[in-house]
């Protein structure tokens, strides 16, 4: 079945710095979604990318879908303590089954 791999597993960031987390698939994806899960919370939908090469921004977060639609990235600028949590990418392997990556857990040093 469809699998998405995420790297890195952990990201320790100094407050104010930038970082990027990556999501890769061996097969072409129809779309990709990103979720954020705060410690002790539930996943919250952030964004969906559909088109090849698509770039979307949400304040300090920039999401990109690769040209071949096999990879995606999330770039966060000027990291803040509110960015702490685990970021998941997820993709549909068929019309109804959403497969999540293992996530990138972000901690921030003040």
Partner 1 sequence: DAGVTQSPTHLIKTRGQQVTLRCSPKSGHDTVSWYQQALGQGPQFIFQYYEEEERQRGNFPDRFSGHQFPNYSSELNVNALLLGDSALYLCASSFQSGRGNQPQHFGDGTRLSIL
Beta-carbon-side half-sphere exposure of residue 76 (alpha carbons within 13 Å): 25
The residue range among 17-25, 40-48, 58-66, 73-81 that interacts with partner 1, by the rule CB under 8 A, is: 40-48
Rule CB under 8 A: choose which of 41, 55, 78, 81 binds partner 1.
41
Question: Please, which residue, 48 or 73, has the CB nearer to partner 1?
Answer: 48
Q: Does residue 50 bind partner 1 (CB under 8 A)?
A: yes
Q: Does residue 101 bind partner 1 (CB under 8 A)?
A: yes
Tokens at residue 95, please?
């019309």
Beta-carbon-side half-sphere exposure of residue 91 (alpha carbons within 13 Å): 26
């Amino acid at each position: 079945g469809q699998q998405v791999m995420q790297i890195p597993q952990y990201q320790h960031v100094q407050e104010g710095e930038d970082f990027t987390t990556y999501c890769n698939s061996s097969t072409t994806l129809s779309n990709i979604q990103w979720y954020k899960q705060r410690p002790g919370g539930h996943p919250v939908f952030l964004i969906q990318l559909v088109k090849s090469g698509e770039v979307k921004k949400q304040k300090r977060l920039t999401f990109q879908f690769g040209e071949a639609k096999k990879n995606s990235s999330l770039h966060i600028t000027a990291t803040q303590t509110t960015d702490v949590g685990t970021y998941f990418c997820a993709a549909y392997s068929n019309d109804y089954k959403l497969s999540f990556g293992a996530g990138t857990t972000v901690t921030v040093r003040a």
